Amino acid sequence: MDGVLAVNKAKGMTSHDVVDLIRRRFHFKKVGHAGTLDPNATGVLVILIGSYTKLSSQFMSEDKEYEGSLIFGASSDTLDAWGKITPSGKTVNFTDEEIKNAFGKFLGETEQVPPMYSSVKVNGQKLYELARKGLSAQPAPRKIAVKNLDILKIKLPEVFFKLTCSKGTYVRQICADIGEDLGCGAYMASLARTRSGRFAIDESVPIEDIRKMTLPELEKIIIKV
């Protein structure tokens, strides 16, 4: 079988977990994905089956859309809510205008240094493996583009947002950078990928539905592009 499957990934699963589940359940030889989604993030994960695994770079190069939230007044070693949280001790009493101005600084094309807790490799080793050993490294900055960054709701210390960005963008790094810009620290509290290229969340199949499907049922929803 060859094609694309847009999966709505649940929290707590790695992207590899989803690939492995589909490979084992349906006895496929070749299964891959087009863009890693952090274990505690949810939403669209594009799964490539059969000959479509050769097109991974094409699908990965497409823009991604997310909805999430950040919390001001603390930092995290992993830059998100699942790491070690350290309060900054700074008062979080910014005006809406101050927050909007800070968010606006991260629009457009910039260079971003990947976070230590990421799968980026330095000298053949993944950064998160080094971080877990208490080691550090200096990954090279990467060019990214944040095309939209809209504030949906401000309920301090939490701010809810929506953004569209290029491949390879770490949203949790943007959250931490916004907190640094305001001088109070911040970490990503939640994240859902709502679109990956042409595939939207409302077109994606919940992973729990896939667990119950038969092969003929899966064949009906495989996409040929």
Tokens matching residue 166: 């290029």
Bridge partner list, 61: none
Cα dihedral value 156, 162, 167, 173, nearest 10: 0
Nearest to 35 by CA among 185, 209, 211, 197: 197
Q: Give backbone dihedrals phi and psi of 190, rounded to 5 degrees, phi first.
A: -155, 155
Residue tagged active-site, from 38, 63, 77, 150: 38
| 2 catalytic residue (yes or no) | no
Report the alpha-carbon distance of residue 192 to residue 40 in Å, rounded: 9
Residues with a catalytic annotation lie at 38
